[in-house]
Structure 1
Amino acid sequence: MSTVLFVYAKGGPPLGYALSRVAARAAVHLLALSPLPPTVAASAGRRCASVVTADGPERGDLVSLIVARAQEVGADAVVTFSEYAVVAVAEACAKLGLAGAGRSCALARDKRLMRRVWAQQGVPQPRFRPVADERELHEAAAELRGPLLLKAAWSAGSTAHRIIRCTDEVPAAWRRAREVMAESAGLGYAELHVAGADGDFLVEEIVPGTAEGWFAQPGWGDYVSVEGAVVDGVFHPVCLSGRMPTVEPFTERAGITPAALPSDAQQRVVALARRAVDALGLENCGIHTEIKLGADGRMWVIETAARFGGAMTVPQIEEVFGLDLIGMLVDQLLGRPVNWPAEARPAQEARGAAGSLVVLAVDGDGAAWPDRRRWDFPAVRDAAPLSPGSALSVVAENSLPDGTPVPVYDPAAGANTMAALCLLSATDPETVLHDFRVLVDALPRLLPAAGDDTEPLEARS
């Protein structure tokens, strides 16, 4: 039987889901770089041939640790589904002579390098400038056309995003973005291999996105993601996921599979994603590419990651298209034959639709809830105003325990202030979008009041 070393860190699809798919293909040895979620810790020991935890200073040189552990267990493949570990695993695979994302993986992780490559290749993207300190941010703000978005080069989940509308906002934006990156590192949401990555930033122009002219139904967000894989250097698109509008500054609220785009629009989006992915020179890995939609068919590539989409993107794809992407990638890395889609699956081929909703303490317009509430999924499930045939569940691994106060939404912290992750299955993507919009506005009414034992209701600036 083949052996796989699974390198776990925060982010990516839920560990319980991913682990079950890997274990169905090979004997699994788990190397945990983050504490295991309590909901998975017990079952991990039963599913894995071994579980080794290295989530502190003993981790040392991460690439060397992964190489040594892979050699100890005789791994035939090494996988990770976390944004924060993809570079280390790619470098370890290269040293071990195993299939992996390849030595150019950092191009799909460091947004500064990624954007430079795309600029050289003429891939349409927002104008940007790397910034290393407040002085450089001032200089970039004077050169670029506002409003601008400051973002961390190695972040994920819209963490440390700050909108800058005038130069007077530069000092506060720079200070808060750095604070949030430090806070995220303390929570385990930070690059694990590159030293000093939390100090790397870039600033970009905010392009004029719009969903009008792309979707027949109002309410969609103005960007989509192309999900797929790179196989022996060749990009294989699988499908597109749509979005609800983000919460300011650009925090994702919901991803919906499939995106309800007409086939001609989907083909144009995939063609642009292919240009972006091909420019990075990746070898064997999952792919998640985000593309901003504009008026008159304009598009801009926002970013590409050398891993599958996070949250419930991969389970959603399995539910509606019957494709186990994690199992397929494991087979690919082990040298087994895999029937990758030749083209992105259109929405018409989906068996229903599925979406994942990040629960944030803001309404549909992005305004903060008037008072604090406690997360209580049974209360939501039993009274949620859903369409006939829709089913709602909670992803316990990515959610606070019932009874926990919902955090105040912090625009700079983004998804770090989420309360829960919910999964909705419905007849079609339009119904998922409708149900999510209704649910978002109903949550403050459905959830119980937090009471007087919580912190004062005040969001950080």
Structure 2
Amino acid sequence: MHAKGGPPLGHVLSRTAAKAEVHLLALSALPPAVAGSAQRLCASVVTPADAHRSDLVSLIVARAEAVGADAVLTFSEYAVVAVAEACEALGLAGAGSASALARDKRLMRRTWQRHGLPQPEFRPVGTEADLHAAARSLPCPLLLKAAWSAGSTAHQIIRSPHEVSAAWARSCDVMAESARLGYAELHVAEADADYVVEQIVTGTASDWFDEPGWGDYVSVEGVVANGTFHPVCLSGRMPTVEPFTERASITPALLARDAQDRIVDLARRAVDALGLRDCGTHTEIKLGADGSMWLIETAARFGGAMTVPQIEEVFGLDLVGMLVDHLLGHPVAWPEQVLTPAQARGAAGSLVVLAVDGRGRAWPVRKVWDFRAVSADIALSRGSRLSVVGESSLADGNVVPAYDPAAGANTMAALCLLSAADARTVLRDFETLVDALPRVLPAAQPEEVSA
């Protein structure tokens, strides 16, 4: 089932179609770059009318029964719960009845709290009054999050109780706009009214990485098969853009083996606590001083953007195809242990193009996206290969959106993929790209900006 978010549709469709006959239920419009190939790869492509989407689980079940589906899956965060419940109704393998615990940040944090796992102190909030009460009981600074959001959408930093009302209003506005754009929970009614606020913990990348430039959190990519968690690898990050918008993911993360083992152990405990059954997983962990760690969140699906293609390139694992095989009941040889940088064949990373410089400051002049200029005018390391993910990027000639801290990844202009000899090179090349983009991209004309 296709909806917005997740890995590029073209990638997951081709890998799925290599394993089975595919019937596509499209709840979001297919990206133009993929529409043609989708018709070739799929036995059917159905776009339901709006009137049929009020009961999403029944819609999925009916479509699955009509085509005789042996498995149902999605790679979109916004459809995870609906697909899991449909699989339960159909008696098919899936994330299971606990899927909402890996989607609703309030339930996730409560579950981890019961299991005594390290995480920021938090409070569920459903009204502005709840947020005021939380700001009186928790020390600032605080981070307000929409409980069902993704991509850092509607994040607001609250530095004092006086900022509560403005933060609440802004987050609500952003969630409403995200829903209009299709970046919203598809199954749970009124999910846009659910929030959580949490204390901001201090990360320390320098205690974990040998060189500067890395962000203070990582993600553990993995899968749950028959209730058993299989960690696959770790991906590192560049520092986020305020408030906490992700700029780049790099596979593999350059961590010492003992540090990686401790991170994986925490990820395992986090996933096990949620009780997931058959699904991909993506667990983000904040790294602090003296070996301290805090859980950020776990998703019952593979990492979005280019995480899955990066793993395939670097470690030779087709995670999409492996998951399809597992859901269909075929034996799959999951990695016996988490893969390390020593086992990597080079490195790969994805960069979200945002209109901010390396220090998070907005570009002084609006620019026009032009990948041809980027590839021609920015000198990267020898052997590095840069490409643009067409279905996740503006077409050349479009104005780069101004960065909106509250909207997060909704204001991205493009998604680029870079392959290099090692992760250090990817990180350095990404720093070069971030610094050079406002210099090499053409300036937008006043009439283009106003339009």
1:35 aligns with 2:29: yes
> Contact 1:62–1:193 at 8 Å: present in 2 too?
yes
User: How far is the alpha carbon of 1:54 from its aligned partner?
Assistant: 2.2
TM-score, reference length from structure 1: 0.97
Match of 2:342 in 1: 348
In the alignment, structure 1 residue 395 sits paired with structure 2 residue 389: yes
Task: Determine if contact 1:32/1:55 at 8 Å carries over to the other structure.
Answer: no
SS in 1 for 2:206: coil
Amino acid corresponding to residue 323 of structure 1 in structure 2: L
Q: How many equivalent pairs are there?
A: 451
Q: Deviations over 1:347-406 (max 9, x none)?
A: 110000000000000000000001010000010011112111101000000000100000
Where 2:207 maps in the other structure, the secondary structure is coil
Structure 2 unaligned residues grouped into runs of 5+: none
- Which of these residues, 147, 162, 180, is aligned with residue 153 of structure 1? 147
| Unaligned ranges ≥5, structure 1 | 1-6
Distance in 2 between residues matched to 1:442 and 1:138, nearest whole Å: 42
What are the equivalent positions in structure 2 for 1:57-456 lying under 5 Å apart? 57-455=51-449
2:45 maps to a residue whose letter is V
d(CA) in 2 for partners of 1:55 and 1:125? 42
Distance between the aligned counterparts of 2:425 and 2:51, measured in 1? 47
State how far apart, in whole Å, the 2-side matches of 1:379 and 1:77 are. 44
Q: Which amino acid aligns with 1:437?
A: E
CA contact (8 A) 2:347 2:423 kept: yes
- Range with bigger deviation, 39-48 or 82-91: 39-48
Q: Partners of 2:33 and 2:300 in 1: how far apart?
A: 27
Question: Cα offset for 1:42?
Answer: 1.3
Residue 455 of structure 1, CA deviation: 3.2
Q: Secondary structure at the match of 1:78?
A: coil
Question: What CA distance in whole angstroms lies between the structure 1 residues aligned with 2:34 and 2:49?
Answer: 16
Query: Identity, % of aligned pairs?
Result: 73
One-letter amino acid of the counterpart of residue 176, structure 1: R
TM-score normalised by the chain length of structure 2 = 0.99
Do the aligned partners of 1:237 and 1:343 also contact (CA within 8 Å) in 2? yes
Structure 1: how far apart are the matches of 2:50 and 2:229?
36
In the alignment, the residues of structure 2 paired with residue 253 and residue 272 of structure 1 have an alpha-carbon distance, to the nearest angstrom, of 24
By how many angstroms is 1:60 displaced?
Answer: 2.2
CA distance in 2 between partners of 1:257 and 1:425 (Å): 10
Asked if structure 1 preserves the Cα contact closer than 8 Å seen for 2:399 and 2:449, the reply is no
Q: What is the root-mean-square deviation in Å for CA atoms of aligned residues? A: 0.9
Residue type at the aligned position of 1:269: I
Task: Answer whether contact 2:219 2:283 (CA < 8 A) is retained.
Answer: yes
- Does the 8 A contact of 2:366 with 2:449 survive in 1? no
Q: Which amino acid aligns with 2:327?
A: L
How far is 1:127 from its partner? Answer: 0.2
**How many angstroms apart in 2 are the aligned matches of 1:263 and 1:325?**
23
Is contact 1:34–1:55 with CA below 8 Å preserved after alignment?
Answer: no
Structure 1 residue ranges, 4+ long, deviating more than 6 angstroms after superposition: none
Deviates more, 1:355-364 or 1:37-46: 37-46
3-state SS of paired residue (1:425): strand
Report the AA paired with residue 161 of structure 1: H
Cα separation, 2, equivalents of 1:265 and 1:130: 32
1:34–1:54: 8 Å Cα contact kept in structure 2? no
